[in-house]
Amino acid sequence: MFTSVLLDATLQTGDYIGFTFFTGYMSMLAASIFFIVERGTVAEKWKTSLLVSALITFIAAVHYFYMRGVWLEKQISPTQFRYIDWTLTVPLMCVEYYLILKPAGASAGMLVRLILASLLMLVAGYIGEAVDMSNNILWGVISTVGWAVIIYEIYFGEAAKLAKASNNPIVQKGYNVLRWFTLVGWAIYPIGYMMLPGNLLHGLVEGHDFSKSSPVDLAYNIADAINKIGFGLVIYSIAKGATAEEKTMTVARA
């Protein structure tokens, strides 16, 4: 009896969703340590950006620790953990945009717009996934409006103009990669969401027993690792590049 309990709480061969809960947890934790330690190697004005990168992966690591445990015991993943995590980490990603563009004159209004749009995206997504599931297409559409506002802001709005005006090639290049994450990397989430019962891509996973496990979790786990760690690494490389350049300039001036 005792062994059977233990076996149930062990990662099984072929449990690929469980596998991504473990790798997600461990890689987010490792990334947090990396950003914190490397924070000491960049110029003063970049330290907050690296701290925020570390907070994003650390908040995710703690949530993955819980989700991984629940998954092992019950083979389910409560939607609540997922959305509590995102409600904290996505606004922090908006803060990263703000911090990077602040030297170019980013306004608090830009930050507020990004955060409000991300909250619309997440609240609507949560309702569609956990509260009013039979209308998940409608809530998905409302959520996509929030995402579209963010895309508009970073490609055509104030943020885009500031990046162009910043006159710093390192920031501009990094900014382009960051917004590519927000456009392409973030697209994995709605694709996962559309595999929910009753939604547009559910046919792809027809026959999958959703009461046992959800392919939506697989999509979210992969997306989180790419978007949180990858995003943080881009911030890191901008900070490193700008720090090195400043040093060269100081030496040249001396």
Q: Measured from the CB atom, is 104 or 234 closer to ligand RET?
A: 234
Size of the site for ligand RET (CB under 6 A): 17
- What span, in angstroms and rounded, lies between the C-alpha atoms of 128 and 115? 20
Candidate segments 45-53, 72-80, 83-91, 154-162, binder of ligand RET by CB under 6 A: 83-91
186: contact with ligand RET by CB under 6 A: yes
Given the complex with ligand RET, which of 104 and 218 has the nearer CB atom? Answer: 218
- Residue 97 or 189: the one with the smaller Cβ distance to ligand RET is 189
Residue of 42, 54, 67, 90 interacting with ligand RET (CB under 6 A):
90
Binding characters for ligand RET, 125-144, by CB under 6 A (x = yes): x--------------x--xx
Helix 136-155 vs helix 158-165: crossing angle, to nearest 10: 30
- Residue 64 binding ligand RET, by CB under 6 A: no
Distance in Å, CB of 193 to ligand RET, minimum: 4
- Decide if residue 227 touches ligand RET (CB under 6 A): yes
Which residue's CB atom is positioned nearest to ligand RET?
Answer: 125
- Residues 6 or more apart from 151 whose CB is under 8 A from it? 179, 182, 183
Nearer to ligand RET, 54 or 90 (CB): 90
In the complex, what is the shortest distance from the CB of residue 59 to ligand RET, in angstroms, rounded to a whole number? Answer: 9
30 Cβ contact partners less than 8 Å away, ≥ 6 residues apart: none
Tell which one of 63, 68, 179, 228 touches ligand RET (CB under 6 A).
228
In the complex, which residues of this chain contact ligand RET (CB under 6 A)? 86, 89-90, 121-122, 125, 140, 143-144, 147, 186, 189-190, 193, 224, 227-228
